[in-house]
Structure 1
């Protein structure tokens, strides 16, 4: 690997400080936060401002915020994002950690479509495929995505619709579905036990884009012969971490409210 350039590293450290708090800082703030010499901070801030990476805050002399150049770079990055490709990368990392099947799915009306899948190496594993469509209310990813919809939009999608059963354990009662979705909202995670496949349990977490909107869900699926409450808790944590990683790649910052 090549040598890191200290001046570039310091300039990037300065820019990353603006991702925190209210997004405005003064040169003394930066000096204190990074423990750098005042002269160094002054030179770096002056250079970043000259290139429109920083701009002064109107009516607040001496304070800076991110400039238009950072927005242009972020917009170009967003244009090149591919949810499916990024989902496959993250799913592969999660699957390598837990050696179980990992899916990433999106919502289409009242169904989910799997856009990424990485298999377990175990002899007993899920039979599924990217591109497959399933009723959302029967899956952990689907319930996670339904729970993330605004109430009015959720009702417009599910009211009057028949909740078909995929197994005897599937939710078919609208009131039971509403109760399950409320619990998912409160927890921030979804589970599914033998509702889409009589031999499988799943846990799922939400994936957010740069605006904080839930655009996908990531799940870990486990055959019942390997499922325990302890294993479920471990996989729920992995699913949450994987979903947070994918959200970060999509431009999401921080935790949702």
Structure 2
């Protein structure tokens, strides 16, 4: 079981005190948390050094929240907007093809699924809302990895051999790089039984107002329903769905 770091918990406790107070002094923080003043002083100095707290002008022993917390909150709010917009579009795409539709974002070398709309067909899938999977094993992940700049991709692939989920998973970094070149060129990605041997997926990019790829949408179906005709139709639907979400996020082609 990973160990919880007490100093981090105390620092977060300090930040949460500001939820109902715009300003607090070092003494007030120590009293509210029942901590030694020396401990509070060290934590406050650290938070100020990272600008999570800033001294009140003219009152150096009083503090208020800093800009990084606003940035984090804005990023979280943006993620909520993405989920809200993607959920409705995913339902429309799922209704059109009667297959599962998912939306995911990149987190390091993994994807995290934010949205899943199930098919009416009974099917068991490894992906689901909140689930984390290796990005290189999924269609959504390949789209997201293909959008990284060279330094970002190097960081993801820095540890060498990649974990596989099925015998079809791409585990060689050089092979993956070449594969991502094709994904980038075609602006579409396929999971050919690489995360679940019985399932195939096709994914397209969701972009924000800056043109950055912030998420990916996929249609997933069992191999038994994956025909060339179905693939062509699902590719069209997922492209249109991703483009619709992108437009709602402010993207203009």
TM-score normalized with structure 2 length? 0.67
Give matches, 1:66-105, under 5 Å.
82-105=81-104
Quickly say closer, same or farther: Cα 1:80–1:96, change in 2 above 3 A: same
Which runs of 4 or more aligned residues in structure 1 lie more than 6 Å from their structure 2 counterparts after TM superposition?
A: 78-81
Write the distance in 1 (CA, Å) between the matches of 2:94 and 2:108: 28
Cα deviation, 1:48-95, whole Å, max 9, x if unaligned, reads: xxxxxxxxxxxxxxxxxxxxxxxxxxxxxx979611111111111100
Cα distance change, pair 153–128 in 1 and its aligned pair in 2 (3 A) = closer
Secondary structure at the counterpart of residue 163 of structure 1: coil
Contact 2:108/2:156 (<8 A) preserved:
yes
Partner Cα distance (2:79, 2:110) in 1: 27
Which residue of the partner structure matches residue 176 of structure 2?
177
Deviations along 1:129-168, whole A, 9 cap, x unmatched? 2000000000000011000111121112212243101000
SS in 2 for 1:201: strand
- Residues 181 and 227 (structure 1 numbering): CA distance in 2 closer, same or farther, change over 3 Å? same
Q: How many residues align?
A: 178
**Structure 2 unaligned residues grouped into runs of 5+:** 1-76
The answer on whether the counterparts of 1:171 and 1:195 sit within 8 Å (CA) in structure 2 is yes
**Is this contact kept in 2: 1:102–1:119, CA < 8 A?**
yes
TM-score normalised by the chain length of structure 1: 0.66
Counterparts of 1:199 and 1:172, CA distance in 2:
19
**Where in structure 2 are the equivalents of 1:4-83 lying within 5 Å?**
82-83=81-82
* Matching residue of 2:110: 111
Per the TM alignment, residue 128 of structure 1 is displaced from its structure 2 partner at its CA by 3.3
Distance (Å, rounded) in 2 between the aligned partners of 1:138 and 1:128: 11
1:124 paired to 2:123: yes
Are the aligned partners of 1:207 and 1:214 in contact in 2 as well (CA < 8 Å)? yes
Q: Residue 252 of structure 1 aligns to a residue in which SS? A: coil
Relative to structure 1, is the Cα distance of residues 167 and 253 closer, same or farther in structure 2, using a 3 angstrom cutoff?
A: same
How far has the Cα of 1:212 moved from its partner?
A: 0.3
SS at match of 2:136: helix
The DSSP-based 3-state class of the residue aligned with 1:82 is: helix
Gap change, CA 1:237 and 1:79, over 3 Å in 2 = closer
Q: 1 CA distance for matches of 2:145 and 2:127?
A: 21
Aligned to 2:228: 229
Q: Distance in 2 between matches of 1:132 and 1:201?
A: 18
Match of 2:51 in 1: none
Structure 1 contact 110–157 (Cα < 8 Å) conserved: yes
Q: Cα gap change, 1:199/1:248 in structure 2, threshold over 3 Å: closer, same or farther?
A: same
In 2: Cα distance, 1:211 partner to 1:100 partner: 31
Structure 1: segments with no counterpart, 5+ residues? 1-77
Distance 1:142 1:80, change over 3 A: closer
